[in-house]
Structure 1
Amino acid sequence: MDGGPHPRNLASTSTPATPVRHHSQQILVTPSMVKKHQKPRGSNAFHLPGPPPILGRPLFYDDVHFFSDPSAPRSFHSNGRQKKFNLWQCWSNEVIPSLIGPYLTYQYKSSLLRHWPASQNDDVECTASCHRRTLEVLNIDCCPCAPAPLQLLKLGLFACAPIAPSLAVDLRVLELVRTLFVWITPNTTAWCEALEVFLTAWGYKLSTKDNLRRRFSNAYHWYSVLVTNAGDHIYSLISPHLPSRSLGDEVLPAQPSDYLRSRCPVCFGMQDWQKDHGSHLKLDCHVCIDACFTQKWSANSRGADGLDPPNPTQSVFISDEEVAQMEAHVRACRGSLPGRGTKHKKPEGDKDGYEDGMRIPVSTLDACRESFLAADEKREKASTCLFTDTGIMALLCHHDCVLWLVNMTSAGEKQYYALALIKKPFKHLPPTMTIGILYDIACQLERSCLKYPLLKQGVLSHIVFSISVFHTYGHQWPCQLIYRPRKCEGFGLSDGEGCERLWSALKMLIPPLWVSGYHQCLFVLNAQVQHLDGKNLDTFGKWLSRRWTRCQTKKSSAEHALQQLSVDEANICPEWRAQVEHQMKPLSRRSKTNNDEQISKILTLERTLSNLDDSVRALEMQLCAGNTFNIVDFNLRLADERTYRSKVADTLRRWKAALGIRQLTDLQQLRCSIFLQIRLDAQAVKARLHEHLRQRKFEIERFEWSYCQTVNEHKLHVHAEASIQQRNPTIQKLVTSYNNLCGKLIDLIRRGKAPAGAIAPHSISSTGIFQLDVDDDIWQDVGLDGNDMAPPAWLADENMHAAIKFQLEVDQCNEEGVRIMREHCVLQEWMMAEWDALQEARTCADLCFHFDLRAHLLSGLVVHWQSQVRPIPCAWPLPDSWGPTPNDLAEAANMYYQPSCLDGTAAVYDSENDWESDDERENDELIDELEEAALAGAYMDLDSDSYDI
């Protein structure tokens, strides 16, 4: 509790005998706890008494009628659930709305809880300077016009119940706990137990066990609701003075909506989103989507027979009704779907090609889909029997600001969750804005949207899909060429991993939310998101500065590397387009077809048949020589060999008959060419190596980023890691085998025994084989695709290959630089609009104190941002002023430039005792950033029908 000069942490009240009459109630306020050995006369320990008994009326009514209806009858026979619901409704509809004004007034009178307002009663002063124990008893008159929570709030206390509170907590204590619980795992049980132990050690003992936890938790929850609603109330008085952004309920807005503007000022805070269309940015904003299956809560964790009531606060969660509507829409569009576990096989003889609207072949899409399903089979599902809600899916902008969340109730990652999130922003955006969406299975999601009318054409035509940077390893190379953001025009240096950083920030909430009620979970998550919003708002300037520096450094490095290459820059872009066009061709038009597999099988059968012929011939010669001990057994063995040879010969005959003319020609060439046979073996080994590397990545990421582990789960993960390490020699052996085959091919080319124009394949370095990137040579089948034509420059010329990579980096940095300059202007325009709206709202004299607080906050942000974005040029002309006056900025700077507010500064007198050096601190920050960037929890419990298309 509070340790101030007049502690009023706990209060005890009683209810009035009649609801319409004034009734004097006694409130016991604890004195200053000065000496442990000083106890009340005749008592060994101090007991806080409960509320005085009121004869003939219970402390908590079963059927609560609110203050506005004092004459309504009361029922005393409802069950506990109904009583809880009634109390919840009383808090939500009556008490909290009635306390917003008094709470804001009390904040003003107490200077944000810094001191107690002047009391109306004369305090008793001690003239002898003696230490003594006193009890202060205050009488309050409760009636429907002045209920107990209202009177307690005016005294700086918050009640634990709306009608007959038996505990009131100091507002300063509640504010301390509220601030603490957004930085650590919220745990009111531990906090209350620690307080009880502390009071017990001082000789103060509560009269009942577990009373403090229940009552304090109730007071803390509703105080948090009050603070949230009070902040929303203040902003609701300012927002009407902002520039109008909507044309009406039935018309799409001409500018991004006020909701999006409040979620991310940098993405949606501009005055006119079309102002900088001369920059030719392909995408107006970037968002990312991902799911987390660790944020879940148990089904009836404490025997609850229903949901807890909702809280009267705003939420970033999409309503269950909208999700259900999208689910029904998806089912209606797809019609009847195959059952779970059904494999979608391509009919024999089907030619590869393109589906309508897709830029990559069907074979590539199918391979990506199968790779995800293979990874999914080895994952543990979130049980819907143990958990009513299995996870959450998020939609974030590329500044890591949460736009919307959706609660998931299925065992897997269904597409309708992502579609519900995608559909939501288009209700708040102008119809011509284009969004880039980064998603780990973007290729499959776009395929579904093009095959079925899951999204309106007006929406789908303004979406560009891409894959998050750290999720591309599971996709085929042609898919990476189109969907990887580093190779896709318009995404700049966005990585799409903001959701992973969000899951890292929310991981501390996993244990308490597993056993919380549904709406309580949503309330806590919303509170944490609000806290993260505040942190993001403060760091926007730093974010832009860091991205600008990184962009310019990377661009300078790439341009310098381009200058070192003897390549005509005019040929780089055409060669890149030629590479994409070639590698996007359907398999039926490429040399690397299923013929290779069929011909390889025929060659294997021919070798098997030849071995069987030798075996039968040896047995026949043995029979002719008379070297048999048991003629009966020998004849049976010879008959089995001849029967098996006959079956192999029949199979070989059927397979040859099924070959076309080109396949027969290829077969004849393979028979006559050792080079082609070795190359075919190298293709098979490399395909196996690709599959092993992908499978290893799927397995190892399962436990690398596990947030919540029990002891048994930890043992399983240790065992899994050991098993994966045991399989590493297999991968290394495949690398060795492949390199040996490459060596043979190179030797044949050198000796002139290879076909004309044959290209030597690239060997694979065993160093770093487990830390591959999508641009590594292992993913390109140079010299293995059977193309004997003159190789293009993008394939055969190493300088051109490197030049393409560096040119793409330069293009990405140019896009990023233009976007950062634009966001610099948007940030300043947002601040100017906020400041002007605040000045117009100051006409409300009753809340001038709170408007001054917001003015001080905005001034501090300007001081913080200006110094960081000053090196960034503006995309269009803007005034020097950001809104606040020089006096406002000087006052804010005086606070901001204190040593405790500056990054990387420390007091002189602490420097000698600081055990952590600056270098170590910088290294820790770098490690934290690398861990956040590497937090790629890919393929979270994907369900098989998530990819039904």
Structure 2
Amino acid sequence: PSKPGYAFCVNLLDFCLALSYQAADSAQALAAALHTHHRSRGFVMRGKHGQPIQEGYRRTLQHALQWYGVLQHSLLLETDLSVRAAAAAASAGTPAAAPPDLGNSPPTAAPDDAPLHPPRQVDPYLVDRCPACFGGFEFGRRLDRGGDVHIAGDGNFMHRRMRSAGLCPPIAMEHRLFIPDTFVDAVGHDLDTLSARGPRSYVSEVPDAVLKNCGNSYTAADGSKAKTPGDVFDDTGLMAFVCRHDIPIYLCNIATPGEQQKFFIAGLIWILLHMPDLATIVTFYDINCVSWKMLMAYGILPDWMLHRLGFATSILHSYGHQWECQLVFNPRLLLGVGLTDGEGTERFWSRLRGMISILRQVSRDRRIVLLELHTDFVARVIRGDLGRWLVRRGKAVETRQWHAQAEVTSSHFSEAYLREQWSAQKSAQLSVRHTAPQLREQLDAVVELQEQIENLEKSISATASTFRRRTRAATRAAAQDTGDGTAARRGADAGGSQIALLRDTLRALQAQADELYGALNVGEDFPSIAIYGREFVKLLVMTHDAKELARAKVIARLSELDRLDQAVGGSGTPLGTTQHQKVCRTMRKRTPALVNAIQRYNDLCDRLVQALPQGLDFPLPEKLPVVLTDLKDNTALLENVWLGGVPESNAAWLTDGRVRRAIRALHTLDRCREESLRLELETKQIFGWFKRKTAALHVALQDPGSALLVF
């Protein structure tokens, strides 16, 4: 501002900024409070003609806070530049660290697409952002040992801006947080061009059909699905990238109706460009399996970049993925990732949730400025708490590791034996079952018939309740008017005939399903389990289909609960009373169908136990709890009913529940050991960064040109 009309005390501006960071109060609310405070003490603001001013300090305080925040941001940048220059001078002449041995890890650069420049150092911005992650000098840790850095990404469509808010003149401020829109658009253009050419061949541990089902389970996988009305909002959301300590690294502005893959992929490329050429990154995303498939199928990244990336799904989104997908992408089953959960973005959205309403009606440049200032504050607060975070994490890991070790010890199985069983389980469950096409069509037809039967049962129940209610009302009305209930009885007869027709249709569908089950040829379709008899195989297939239906209903219920609790993690605003009651009513209507599906599956499990021939052994499926809270953390829900034969070798993972429990405990034990090693490394990197920072500050303070730093 060239001609400010008001002067505000710097202490007042500091207090207002601190309050806005902590409570997300808008400048308008602060100005109104200041205006009311002055009026109550007799200081009434008046205009040129003596009339009282109603708005008070609204615009002037907004402008003062905006430019004061920009000034503070600029001073911090100048300070960082001075300290970095001093650090460079202090470390002049120090030989560079030799690149570490990558062992048997994939090559980081292919001969035909190797970078033409020498290996870069990590961007100082990233080092100052999180010294625990980026403060080291050695990069190139193998991905099966956890990689160098863990980065989580996620989109949020609540942080949007209305078109009616308009634009404002450009604000002179250096932005380090936001990835340029031109870069994101360029990545999107390349992605569209490569996608139009068709996918290339690649090797995948997870079958394509499984990855397709995972993509169908999440709306984020469908970039064409609109999450925000584009005619009302122009900036529709944000994509955030955070480290494993929840420190925000970069933000990406979303201007499309849906969450397209270009935003996540552009963020990964942007981070790689600011890291050394040997650095490896393990990424976390709720649909990371779909992102990995896209990168492999269309060759968006060169091999020297792609080989430096590991992929894992966020832990709290695991229930929406198929079990075969989780065997490869679940962070609790991946080597090296420790206890990183990939949900740091959700906690970041929680810290930023107060900004949602404020940013709806601000201009575009002002929105970017407010987000950068608030995010920088969040990053500084978390960085200042890294020491306590490491201590808390270390204590929690010790407790968890002790319990896991006790579980493994009490099982009386050696770790080598359990690892062998886990390797056999993973290999068997990832192998594609070559089911005959005719049998696959029959099984799909049975599942479709079961869904039709359930829908028809719900229709019959709802129709019967409606007719009973209307018949009682009509009977009472007719008795009061004429004393004759003939018309009501005719209506009841008509309703009864319709219900009878629906029940006939239900019986026909059930008979058709029984025919399909009876048409299964045990000897040809299931040769590996033909020795168990036709009745047992029929029950096994019915149990398989019943579990698929029950699992789909449970996942749908968990999604509804996520909608009810969408404000808990800060990813959205709380539902209104009307919407909350509507969702609850819908859930209550679907509860009987959910319980019936689980009970039907449990009944079939009991029948399987009785139908198993004597003298034969088979891995029978486990029953599911009816309580939803128990289902959410139940691993048996995600496992398919075993339709293959029992392996000739010792498959204790398939037949012995003690082995399965011990394998789960071993996974926890391995993750705790990996977490302990990473915590030790991060502690060393923080101490090293602190010593270098202290030495650089000492040198900078002796420099006469660092007047701003001394001030």
2-side partners of 1:676 and 1:314: how far apart? 64
Is residue 359 of structure 1 aligned with residue 177 of structure 2?
Answer: no
> Unaligned stretches of 5+ in structure 2?
48-52, 98-114, 451-503
2-side partners of 1:726 and 1:502: how far apart? 35
Q: Quickly say closer, same or farther: Cα 1:392–1:280, change in 2 above 3 A.
A: closer
Q: Quickly say closer, same or farther: Cα 1:299–1:708, change in 2 above 3 A.
A: farther
Q: Quickly say closer, same or farther: Cα 1:796–1:726, change in 2 above 3 A.
A: same
1:300 matched residue in structure 2: 164
Question: 1:862-914 CA deviation, whole Å, 9 max, x = no partner?
Answer: xxxxxxxxxxxxxxxxxxxxxxxxxxxxxxxxxxxxxxxxxxxxxxxxxxxxx
Q: Quickly say closer, same or farther: Cα 1:709–1:487, change in 2 above 3 A.
A: closer
Residues 363-442 of structure 1: matches in 2 within 5 Å?
Answer: 363-372=209-218, 381-442=227-288
Question: 1:177-207 CA deviation, whole Å, 9 max, x = no partner?
Answer: 1221111123222222222222222222211
The share of aligned pairs that are identical, in percent, is 24
Name the SS of the counterpart of 1:335 in structure 2.
helix
| Structure with more contact order per residue of length (Cα contacts < 8 Å, sep ≥ 6) | 2
Letter in 1 for 2:2: P
- Contact residue 391 and residue 408 of structure 1 kept, 8 A: yes
1-side partners of 2:384 and 2:425: how far apart? 44
- Contact residue 625 and residue 631 of structure 2 kept, 8 A: no
2:66 matched residue in structure 1: 221
Is residue 765 of structure 1 aligned with residue 625 of structure 2?
Answer: yes
Letter in 2 for 1:527: L
2-side partners of 1:279 and 1:466: how far apart? 11
Q: Quickly say closer, same or farther: Cα 1:307–1:331, change in 2 above 3 A.
A: farther
Is residue 190 of structure 1 aligned with residue 29 of structure 2?
Answer: yes
- How far did 1:812 drift? 0.9
Residues 494-509 of structure 1: matches in 2 within 5 Å?
Answer: 494-509=340-355
2-side partners of 1:549 and 1:687: how far apart? 40
Residues 659-678 of structure 1: matches in 2 within 5 Å?
Answer: 662-663=524-525, 673-678=534-539
1:584 matched residue in structure 2: 430
Name the SS of the counterpart of 2:178 in structure 1.
coil
- How far did 1:255 drift? 3.0
- How far did 1:695 drift? 1.4
1:824 matched residue in structure 2: 683
Residues 794-943 of structure 1: matches in 2 within 5 Å?
Answer: 794-845=653-704, 847=706, 850-851=709-710
Residues 545-564 of structure 1: matches in 2 within 5 Å?
Answer: 545-564=391-410
1:64 matched residue in structure 2: none
- How far did 1:331 drift? 1.0
Letter in 2 for 1:686: K
Q: CA RMSD in A?
A: 3.7
Question: 1:378-414 CA deviation, whole Å, 9 max, x = no partner?
Answer: 9972111110011000111101111111000111110
- Contact residue 332 and residue 667 of structure 2 kept, 8 A: yes
Q: Quickly say closer, same or farther: Cα 1:524–1:471, change in 2 above 3 A.
A: same
2:129 matched residue in structure 1: 263
Q: Pick from 359, 372, 397: which aligns with 1:526?
A: 372
- Contact residue 482 and residue 488 of structure 1 kept, 8 A: yes
Q: Quickly say closer, same or farther: Cα 1:521–1:660, change in 2 above 3 A.
A: same
- Contact residue 150 and residue 282 of structure 2 kept, 8 A: yes
- Contact residue 152 and residue 344 of structure 2 kept, 8 A: yes
Q: Quickly say closer, same or farther: Cα 1:195–1:708, change in 2 above 3 A.
A: farther
- How far did 1:212 drift? 2.5
2-side partners of 1:668 and 1:814: how far apart? 45
Question: 1:311-351 CA deviation, whole Å, 9 max, x = no partner?
Answer: 3233300111111111111111111799xxxxxxxxxxxxx
Name the SS of the counterpart of 1:588 in structure 2.
coil
Q: Pick from 637, 649, 654: which aligns with 1:778?
A: 637
Q: Quickly say closer, same or farther: Cα 1:680–1:271, change in 2 above 3 A.
A: closer
Name the SS of the counterpart of 2:339 in structure 1.
coil
Q: Quickly say closer, same or farther: Cα 1:762–1:659, change in 2 above 3 A.
A: closer
Q: Quickly say closer, same or farther: Cα 1:786–1:780, change in 2 above 3 A.
A: same
Q: Which has the higher helix share?
A: 2
Is residue 491 of structure 1 aligned with residue 345 of structure 2?
Answer: no
- Contact residue 298 and residue 388 of structure 1 kept, 8 A: yes
Letter in 2 for 1:300: S
Question: 1:202-223 CA deviation, whole Å, 9 max, x = no partner?
Answer: 2222113236322222122112
- Contact residue 226 and residue 257 of structure 2 kept, 8 A: no
Q: Pick from 175, 178, 185: which aligns with 1:314?
A: 175
- Contact residue 143 and residue 310 of structure 2 kept, 8 A: no
Q: Quickly say closer, same or farther: Cα 1:592–1:578, change in 2 above 3 A.
A: farther
- How far did 1:300 drift? 2.1
1:130 matched residue in structure 2: none
Is residue 291 of structure 1 aligned with residue 155 of structure 2?
Answer: yes
2-side partners of 1:320 and 1:602: how far apart? 45
2-side partners of 1:681 and 1:708: how far apart? 39
Q: Quickly say closer, same or farther: Cα 1:536–1:705, change in 2 above 3 A.
A: same
2-side partners of 1:335 and 1:727: how far apart? 42
- How far did 1:700 drift? 2.3
- State the TM-score, normalizing by the size of structure 1: 0.60
Name the SS of the counterpart of 2:150 in structure 1.
strand
- Contact residue 255 and residue 272 of structure 1 kept, 8 A: no
Name the SS of the counterpart of 1:432 in structure 2.
coil
Name the SS of the counterpart of 1:169 in structure 2.
coil
- State how many pairs are aligned: 619
- Contact residue 143 and residue 308 of structure 2 kept, 8 A: no
- How far did 1:436 drift? 0.3
- State the TM-score, normalizing by the size of structure 2: 0.80
2-side partners of 1:665 and 1:823: how far apart? 54
Is residue 455 of structure 1 aligned with residue 301 of structure 2?
Answer: yes
1:787 matched residue in structure 2: 645
2-side partners of 1:447 and 1:383: how far apart? 29
- How far did 1:250 drift? 7.3
Name the SS of the counterpart of 1:330 in structure 2.
helix
- Contact residue 213 and residue 322 of structure 2 kept, 8 A: yes
1:167 matched residue in structure 2: 6
1-side partners of 2:527 and 2:340: how far apart? 49
Q: Pick from 685, 702, 706: which aligns with 2:563?
A: 702
Letter in 1 for 2:179: I
- Contact residue 738 and residue 763 of structure 1 kept, 8 A: yes
- Contact residue 185 and residue 508 of structure 1 kept, 8 A: yes
Question: 1:680-735 CA deviation, whole Å, 9 max, x = no partner?
Answer: 22122111001101111222212311469899844123211221133122111112
Letter in 2 for 1:489: L
- How far did 1:423 drift? 0.1
- How far did 1:679 drift? 2.0
Q: Quickly say closer, same or farther: Cα 1:230–1:551, change in 2 above 3 A.
A: same
Q: Quickly say closer, same or farther: Cα 1:315–1:429, change in 2 above 3 A.
A: closer
Q: Pick from 575, 596, 613: which aligns with 1:733?
A: 596
Name the SS of the counterpart of 2:367 in structure 1.
helix
1-side partners of 2:573 and 2:145: how far apart? 48
- Is the radius of gyration larger for structure 1 or structure 2? 1
Q: Quickly say closer, same or farther: Cα 1:484–1:840, change in 2 above 3 A.
A: same
2:86 matched residue in structure 1: 241
- How far did 1:265 drift? 0.9
- How far did 1:560 drift? 1.5
Name the SS of the counterpart of 1:168 in structure 2.
coil
Letter in 1 for 2:249: L
Name the SS of the counterpart of 2:23 in structure 1.
coil
Q: Quickly say closer, same or farther: Cα 1:735–1:171, change in 2 above 3 A.
A: same
Q: Pick from 716, 724, 728: which aligns with 2:587?
A: 724
Name the SS of the counterpart of 2:22 in structure 1.
coil
2-side partners of 1:510 and 1:819: how far apart? 35
2-side partners of 1:603 and 1:730: how far apart? 15
